[in-house]
């Protein structure tokens, strides 16, 4: 399969310690036949190795909106995985806020009916906030697969994110997307 024949997966990495390991998801997706593009939130850029990810994907890593007259440098997505997702991103996305490129892509992707999988990396205290639970519920109602709960991975205590990073199950997000390969919310999409 040539690069242009592969379905395009946008991997959105948010401002979380776990973003340091987003290359794991990139490699898994490429192995499964996806043409992967990485988009990082402005805070996500603090954690990722953009030059390494650009070399792995063959695409520039984007984090900001382009000028309206500039051509888009990334192919349009066929699917999106947002991992690690922060509580901030989940809450803003559910509220329809698109003040960053990743949020704009998520809000638009939901409106286009793209298959989207989100996997938060957060601690127990942040996840316990009522707004977060409501945001997760709303996104799920709208067709987004949000991988969260003890059956996915146990949330860590505040301040223990560094130790919890190695347990973040990157492969689950890709597996969930792969399980939806025929249709998603009644719309067909290209899948490897």
- For position 161, which CATH number holds? 3.40.50.1950
Does residue 29 sit within a domain? yes
Domain count within the chain = 1
**Residue pair 23/54 in contact by the 8 Å Cβ criterion:** no
In the chain, count H helices and then E strands.
8, 7
pLDDT one-digit tens code per residue, 69-82? 999 899 999 999 99
Measured between alpha carbons, how far is 126 from 124 in angstroms, rounded to an integer?
Answer: 6
* CA–CA distance, 189 with 178 (Å, rounded to integer): 11
CB atoms within 10 A of CB 29: 25
Query: Quick check: is 54 in a domain?
Result: yes
Position 192 in a domain: no
Tell whether 103 is covered by a domain.
yes
Structural domain of 106: 3-179
pLDDT number for residue 183: 57
Reading the block at residue 152, the tokens are 């996915």
Q: How confident is the model at residue 5 (pLDDT cuts 50, 70, 90)?
A: confident
* pLDDT surpassing 50 at residue 2: no
* 184 domain residue, yes or no: no
Beta strands in 22-163 (DSSP E): 35-40, 79-85, 116-120, 145-146
How much is the pLDDT for 184?
A: 53
pLDDT in tens, 152-166: 989 999 999 888 888
In-domain check, residue 27: yes
Alpha-carbon torsion angle 145, 23, 191, 142, nearest 10: 20
Residue 34 lies inside a defined structural domain of this protein: yes
User: Is the residue at 21 inside a domain?
Assistant: yes
């Amino acid at each position: 399969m040539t690069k242009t024949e592969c379905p395009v997966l946008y991997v959105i990495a948010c401002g979380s310690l776990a973003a340091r390991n987003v290359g794991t998801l990139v490699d898994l997706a490429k192995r499964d036949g996806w043409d992967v593009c990485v988009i990082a939130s402005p805070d996500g850029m603090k954690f990722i190795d953009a030059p390494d990810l650009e070399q792995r994907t063959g695409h520039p890593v984007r984090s900001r909106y382009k000028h309206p007259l500039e051509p888009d440098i990334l192919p349009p997505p066929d699917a999106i995985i947002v991992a690690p997702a922060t509580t901030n991103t989940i809450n803003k996305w559910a509220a329809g806020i698109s003040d960053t490129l990743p949020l704009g892509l998520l809000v638009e992707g939901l409106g286009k009916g793209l298959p989207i999988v989100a996997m938060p990396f957060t601690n127990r205290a942040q996840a316990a906030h009522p707004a977060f639970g409501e945001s997760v519920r709303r996104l799920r109602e709208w067709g987004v697969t949000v991988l969260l709960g003890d059956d996915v991975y146990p949330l860590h205590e505040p301040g223990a994110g560094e130790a919890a990073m190695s347990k973040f199950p990157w492969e689950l997000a890709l597996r969930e997307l792969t399980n939806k390969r025929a249709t998603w919310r009644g719309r067909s999409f290209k899948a490897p």
